[in-house]
């Protein structure tokens, strides 16, 4: 069975969708580690509910990104992590993790990349007057929301309410992330 690590910084609905799919057997994998860089984030409660090992850290307590990434990579090595899934992890992956896990890290992003990179993709797209929105899953490289695209799904929306776009998009994310992970690990 493949071992997953999920990295998240916030609410963790994608983390929960992945953990639930593993628990149900819809995903032939196990979430062996949750990594969170925001103490107090809601995703931590979700992780505890699933009894998943968590590495939660405060980036500012470390001298550099390399220092906390070395610690994360060390634990991932011990657990035999096969695939790293970024799920709302609002931080660039640095050279330490890329060197050891490059080609095994994927990210989900709420836009049709390469359009609307960054932390406010949906808000930026609504402000632009976009009529076709979407979700992208891609390999992670050193750039912000860069890396080769693995899967995309588009949906039309003519309104101007970012919350509604988030709601529609998240439903797609939870399904598309699981389908994509399953394809990658089988
Ligand atoms: C998701 O919508 C994901 O696409 C986005 O963060 C959200 C996390 O939601 N990621 C990015 O914007 C990456 N640039 P969740 O915490 O409920 O899974």
- pLDDT confidence of residue 56: 98
- Write down the pLDDT at residue 23: 97
Residue 66: the pLDDT is: 98
Distance 6 CA to ligand 1 centre (A): 12
User: In angstroms, what is the span from residue 31 Cα to ligand 1's centroid?
Assistant: 18
How far CA 122 is from CA of 6, 134, 147, 169, in Å, comes to 22, 9, 20, 9
Q: Which pLDDT score is estimated for 147?
A: 97
Q: What proportion of the chain, given as a percentage, has pLDDT over 70? A: 100
The residue-averaged pLDDT of 148-172 equals: 98
Residues 80 and 69: their CA atoms lie apart, in Å, by 16
Q: In which order are the strands placed within the sheet that holds 105-109?
A: 54-56, 29-36, 2-8, 83-86, 105-109, 132-139, 149-156
Q: Using CA positions, which residue lies closest to atom 8 of ligand 1? A: 88
Q: What angle do CA 51, 105, 164 make, to 5 degrees?
A: 75
Q: How confident is the model at residue 89 (pLDDT cuts 50, 70, 90)?
A: very high
Q: Which domains does the chain have, with CATH numbers?
A: 2-185 (3.40.50.170)
pTM over 0.85: yes
pLDDT digits (tens, 9 = 90+) for 41-61: 999 999 999 999 999 999 999
> Can you tell me which residue has the tokens 């660039």?
92
pLDDT band at 148 (very low <50, low <70, confident <90, very high): very high
């Amino acid at each position: 069975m493949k071992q997953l690590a999920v990295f998240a910084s916030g609410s963790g609905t994608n983390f929960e969708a992945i953990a639930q799919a593993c628990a149900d057997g819809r995903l032939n994998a196990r979430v062996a580690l949750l990594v969170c860089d925001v103490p107090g984030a809601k995703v931590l409660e979700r992780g505890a509910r699933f009894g998943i090992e968590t590495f939660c850290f405060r980036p500012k307590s470390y001298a550099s990104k390399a220092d906390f990434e070395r610690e994360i990579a060390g634990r991932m090595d011990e657990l035999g992590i096969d695939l790293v899934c970024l799920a709302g992890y609002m931080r660039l992956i640095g050279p330490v993790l890329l060197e050891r896990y490059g080609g095994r890290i994927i990210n989900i992003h709420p836009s049709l990349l390469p359009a609307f990179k960054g932390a406010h993709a949906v808000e930026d797209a609504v402000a632009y007057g976009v009529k076709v929105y979407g979700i992208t899953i891609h390999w992670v490289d050193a750039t912000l929301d860069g890396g080769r695209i693995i899967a995309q799904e588009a949906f039309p929306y003519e309104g101007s309410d970012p919350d509604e776009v988030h709601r529609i998009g998240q439903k797609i994310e939870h399904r598309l992330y699981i389908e994509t992970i399953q394809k990658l690990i089988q």
